[in-house]
A and B are shown apart, each in its own frame.
Chain A
Amino acid sequence: MTATTLSPARPSEGGSAVRRVVALAKLEMTMLVRNKTALFNALALGPLMVVLINSFQMPGMNENRSAFVASLLGSLVVFAIVFAGYYNLCTTAVARREELMLKRLTVGELRRWEVLTAMAAPSLSVILAQVVLGAVAVTLLVGAPTVVNPLLMLLGLLLGFGALAVLGYATAIITRTVEAAQITTLLPLAVLIFFSGATFPFALMPDALRTVAELTPLAATNELMTLGLTGTTADGGTLDFVQSFVGGLQPTIVLLAWIAIGGYLVQRMMPWEPRR
Chain B
Amino acid sequence: MLDGMNAPVITASGVRRTYRGSGAPFEAVRGVDLRVEQGELFALLGTNGAGKTSLLEVVEGIAPASAGEVRVFGQDPFRQRAQVRARTGIMLQEAGFPADVRAGEMVTTWAATQSRRSDDDVLAAVGLSHRAGVAVSSLSGGERRRLDLALALLGRPEMLFLDEPTTGLDPESRRDAWSIVRDRLDDGVTVVLTTHYLEEAEELSDRLAIMHAGRIVRQGTVADIVADEPARITMTIPSDAPAPPPLLGSTQLERGSTGTRYVITTPQLQEDMYTLLSWAREHGVSIADLDARAASLEQAFLSIAASSGAAAQPEPAAA
Binding site for B on A (CB under 8 A): 1-4, 6-7, 9-11, 13, 16, 19-20, 22-24, 26-27, 30-31, 34-35, 95-96, 99-101, 103-104, 106-111, 273, 275-276
Contact = CB atoms under 8 A, between A and B. Distances in A.
A104 B92 contact: yes
26 contacts: A2-B156, A3-B158, A6-B118, A6-B156, A9-B83, A9-B115, A19-B113, A23-B112, A26-B109, A27-B106, A31-B98, A31-B100, A95-B98, A99-B98, A99-B99, A100-B96, A103-B95, A103-B96, A104-B95, A104-B151, A107-B62, A107-B85, A107-B95, A109-B113, A109-B114, A276-B318
Interface residues of B, number: 38
A108 B62 contact: no
A13 B82 CA distance: 9
Nearest to B184: A3
B49 interface: no
Contacts of B112: 19-20, 22-23, 26
A100 B100 contact: no
A106 B82 contact: no
Contacts, number: 98
A114 to B, nearest CB: 9
A2 B94 contact: no
A103 B92 contact: yes
A13 B250 CA distance: 65
B216 interface: no
Nearest to A104: B95
B105 interface: yes
A1 B188 contact: yes
Contacts of A108: 85, 110, 113-114
Contacts of B187: 1-3
Given A1-B188, A109-B82, A23 B94 contact: no
Contact of A27 (B82, B95, B101, B116): B101
B131 interface: no
Nearest to B100: A31
